[in-house]
Homo-oligomer: A and B are copies of this chain.
């Protein structure tokens, strides 16, 4: 049989509550159930979880991820939509990296400034 929600949560680094929440929000339509209603994760589900993790951490909302998951379940008719989504997300991430690079520069200057200030303050404790 499959992997329990407890094991799955541990492996995915999420809480059991979060996993159930994701399912409620339509992010995990691929997770099976036993006849009695217990969730039953399979190996391949972790692939899907990893993609959800990736999209979420790069700024996508649960709602948008839900839309993507729905497309995935709909089959080949939505291939182009999904491709477009990934292309958009790629741009998003690239822009984000550039932005972060600028912030890194800004903070680098601050660090130079403060290192100097700390050095001077130590030499000359007012």
Contacts and interface: CB of A to CB of B under 8 A. Distances in A.
Contact of A111 (B58, B87, B101): B87
The main secondary structure of chain A at its interface with chain B is helix
A33 interface: no
A104 B121 CA distance: 43
Contact of A96 (B54, B76, B94, B100): B100
A3 to B, nearest CB: 22
B100 A100 contact: yes
Interface of A: 51, 54, 57-58, 76, 79-80, 82-83, 86-87, 89-90, 93-94, 96-97, 99-101, 103-104, 106-108, 110-111, 114-115, 117-118, 121, 126
